[in-house]
Amino acid sequence: MQLMRIGDRGAERPAVRGDDGTVYDLSSVTGDIDGAFLAGDGLARARAALAEGGLPQLPGEDGRIGAPIARPGKVVCIGLNYRDHAAETGAAIPPEPIIFMKAPNTVVGPNDTVLVPRGSVKTDWEVELGVVIGKEARYLDSPEDALDVVAGYVISNDVSEREFQLERGGQWDKGKSCETFNPLGPWLVPADEVDDPGKLGLRLWVNGEKRQDGTTADLIFGIGYVVWYLSQFMVLEPGDLVNTGTPAGVAMGMPGQPYLRAGDVVELEIDGLGRQRQVFADA
């Protein structure tokens, strides 16, 4: 099954998608897909309701698809977590994970319009595997233990403004937290339904031309290690989102640096997690 939120922004309805593609209303099980739902054994309850067969069917995915989780408490990101991406940006391989934060209100639906900030000349794309936390994570004992707190996985586009991020002083957050800068979804796939999150293909196209084609097998710091590491410095809570890094192929590392402009179309996918499509527009 896959969990979804469908409807106008701010009025999304929780839904569950069966493996045959049929979408069902999950409102009888939960008011929303959020931290409380995940912490309260929500995945098991949704799975049971789907198996019982009594959920009303929704029209499908023709309307707006929202982010598959309600606004997370925090969005934590890992920088330079693929060797090829570090190389294309001219950065050294980090000895420890590079952590930065992204404002939670950047999270939007997978097909929502993404706004190029006013004054931006270096808006960039980043396909990433997103990890959604399902249990509190505080001083976890090991990377193996860390996988037990993962609720599921999502596609995340860590849209970035490189001038704001790298040339305007301060921390990376400035170039990461512009409005609409984190399209998420279309689905949250439960962790126990992803055979090996360390072997997923990630791909991204700009205006039909493939720009990124990587695999999570090339992560410098794997998913379990990242979640364990973060828990040594902060408490992760149910509903939090961790963006785990992007492979090579971003505009910043390409000849001519073809940054995004209004009218550009970005499409991205990760094996088993669905597909996104965004049209960019001026803020």
pLDDT given for residue 208 in this prediction: 98
The token pair that represents 238 in the structure block: 């149910």
Verdict on whether the full-model pTM lies above 0.85:
yes
Asked if 9 and 66 touch (Cβ cutoff 8 Å), the reply is yes
Residue 179 C-alpha from the chain's centroid: 15
d(CA 78, CA 66): 24
Same domain (yes/no): 108, 61: no
Same domain (yes/no): 61, 125: no
Asked if 224 and 146 touch (Cβ cutoff 8 Å), the reply is yes
What percent of the chain lies above the pLDDT cut of 90? Answer: 93
Same domain (yes/no): 84, 40: no
Which secondary-structure segment (H or E) carries 269? strand 265-270
Same domain (yes/no): 233, 168: yes
Same domain (yes/no): 91, 181: yes
**Residue 59: domain span:** 2-65
d(CA 179, CA 188): 22
Same domain (yes/no): 61, 71: no
CATH number of the domain at 122, please.
Answer: 3.90.850.10
Q: Tell me what the mean pLDDT of segment 31-54 comes to.
A: 97
Same domain (yes/no): 44, 73: no
Q: Tell me what the mean pLDDT of segment 82-90 comes to.
A: 87
**Domain boundary residue, one of 39, 65, 91:** 65
| pLDDT (tens digit per residue) in 242-283 | 999 999 999 999 999 999 999 999 999 999 999 999 999 999
Q: Tell me what the mean pLDDT of segment 186-197 comes to.
A: 97
Task: Give the strand order in the sheet containing 13-17.
Answer: 2-6, 13-17, 23-25
Same domain (yes/no): 52, 91: no
The token pair that represents 186 in the structure block: 């279309």
| pLDDT (tens digit per residue) in 205-247 | 999 999 999 999 999 999 999 999 999 999 999 999 999 999 9
| pLDDT (tens digit per residue) in 132-172 | 999 999 999 999 999 999 999 999 999 999 999 999 988 89
The token pair that represents 244 in the structure block: 């785990």
pLDDT > 80? residue 5:
yes
Same domain (yes/no): 33, 73: no
Same domain (yes/no): 44, 75: no
Same domain (yes/no): 31, 76: no
- How many domains are contained in the chain? 2
Same domain (yes/no): 137, 225: yes
| pLDDT (tens digit per residue) in 16-36 | 999 999 999 999 999 999 999
**Domain boundary residue, one of 32, 48, 65:** 65
pLDDT given for residue 61 in this prediction: 67
**Domain boundary residue, one of 23, 50, 65:** 65
What percent of the chain lies above the pLDDT cut of 70? Answer: 99
